[in-house]
Amino acid sequence: MGFSAIPLVTCQSRPVFTGIRRYVLPVALMILLTGLSGCASTATMESDVITVTGDITVRGNVPFHEVVLITDDNNWYILELTEQDRQALVTPARAEVTGVIRLGEWNGRPFTRMVVRELIAER
């Protein structure tokens, strides 16, 4: 009575999307992180006014030359001077420069720029 001549075969069915489900979370995280990293910026807010002392020289080749301040600690700043200050400047020179630091670029690479507010040449 309790036994049957026909064996019962059970079929374990797997959901159709089981293979896809394990890839959904990693792919979603990758897309999210890629999107967030695309929003990153190298631009900085203008900082406080600073004063540094160093040697001013002209670096680069025409038409890509820039006036550069090199400090004793080997920090380089591209000086953004007015045309009048640039023409009056005799390089190389040692000077104390006061200005605002911002991130810019030089020859396609990030570089620190200083918007000059005051330049005092040492004698």
Question: Band of the pLDDT at 69, cuts 50, 70, 90?
Answer: very high
Strands (E), the chain: 49-59, 66-71, 76-80, 93-106, 109-121
Which of these ranges, 17-31, 54-68, 76-90, has the smallest mean pLDDT? 17-31
pLDDT at site 14: 59
Q: Which DSSP category does 92 fall into?
A: S
Of the two residues 117 and 45, the one the predictor is more confident about is 117
Domain boundaries in the chain? Answer: 49-121
Report in angstroms the alpha-carbon separations of 86 from 27, 30, 80.
54, 49, 9
| Token duo for residue 108 | 């396609």
- pLDDT, tens digit (0-9, with 9 covering 90-100), for 81-91: 988 888 888 88
Q: Is the pLDDT of residue 115 over 80?
A: yes
Of the two residues 76 and 45, the one the predictor is more confident about is 76
Euclidean distance between CA atoms 65 and 42, whole angstroms:
23
Q: Does domain 49-121 have CATH number 2.40.50?
A: yes
Q: Print burial letters for 79-92: b (CB count within 10 Å at least 16), e (below 16).
A: bbbeeeeeeebeee
Is the pTM here over 0.75, yes or no?
no
The residues with which 93 forms a beta bridge, in sequence order, are: 56
Mean pLDDT of the chain: 78
pLDDT at site 6: 59
